Amino acid sequence: MSLNYQPTCSLEAMRARAKMYAQIRQFFAEREVLEVETPILSQAGVTDVHLSSVQAKRHVLGQQQTHYLQTSPEFAMKRLLASGSGPIYQICKVFRDDEHGRKHNSEFTMLEWYRPGFSLKELMFEVTDLLNLTLAQRFGEVRPTVLSYKHAFMDRLDLNPLQATLSELKACCQRVGLSLDLGDDRLGYIDLLFSHMVEPSLGFDTPVFLTDFPPELASLAKTRVDEDGELVAARFELYIEGLELANAYDELADAEVLRGRFEADNQEREKLGLHVMPLDEYLLSALPQMPPCSGIALGIDRLLMIATQQMRLEQVISFPAEWS
Q: Per-residue pLDDT tens for 91-122?
A: 999 999 977 888 899 999 999 999 999 999 99
Q: How far apart are CA 165 and CA 230, in angstroms?
A: 15
Mean pLDDT of 139-146: 94
* Pair 248, 211: CB distance under 8 Å: no
Q: Say if residue 1's pLDDT is above 80.
A: no
Question: With b meaning 16 or more CB within 10 Å and e meaning fewer, what string describes 94-108?
Answer: bbbeebeeebbbbbb
Terminal Cα-to-Cα distance of the chain (whole angstroms): 17
| Per-residue confidence (pLDDT) for residue 319, from 0 to 100 | 95
What pLDDT, on a 0 to 100 scale, did the predictor assign at position 100? Answer: 81
Q: How many CB atoms lie within 10 A of CB 93?
A: 12
**pLDDT of 137 strictly over 80:** yes
Q: Can you name the residues that pair with 250 across neighbouring β-strands? A: 294
Distance CA 170, CA 185 (A): 10
Amino acid 138 reads R
DSSP secondary structure letters along 180-234: ---TT-HHHHHHHHIIIIIGGGTTSSS-EEEEEE-GGG-TTB-EEE-TTS-EEEE
pLDDT of residue 72: 96
Mean pLDDT in residue range 300-306: 97
The whole-number average pLDDT for the span 234-250 is 96
In this predicted structure, what is the pLDDT of residue 219? 87
Percent of the chain scoring above 70 in pLDDT: 100
Give mean pLDDT, residues 15-37.
98
Give the mean pLDDT of 180-209.
91
With DSSP H G I counted as helix, E B as strand and the rest as coil, what are the percentages for the chain, rounded to 5?
40, 25, 35
Q: Provide CB contacts within 8 A for 72, sequence distance 6+.
A: 46, 94, 110, 112, 297
How does pLDDT run across 69-98, given as a tens digit for each residue? 999 999 999 999 999 999 999 999 999 997
- Percent of residues, the chain, with pLDDT higher than 90: 88
Q: Is the pLDDT confidence value at 269 over 80?
A: yes
CA-CA distance, 11 to 9, in Å (whole number)? 7
Whether the CB-CB separation of 236 and 248 falls below 8 Å is answered with yes
Nearest to 173 by CA among 154, 144, 194: 194
Domains assigned to the chain: 11-144+255-323 (3.30.930.10)
Per-residue confidence (pLDDT) for residue 17, from 0 to 100 = 98
Edge-to-edge strands of the sheet including 41-42?
41-42, 63-69, 55-60
Mean pLDDT of 277-294: 97
H/E run at residue 161: none
Average pLDDT of the chain, as a whole number = 94
pLDDT band per the 50, 70, 90 thresholds, residue 188: confident
What pLDDT, on the 0 to 100 scale, is given for residue 187? 86
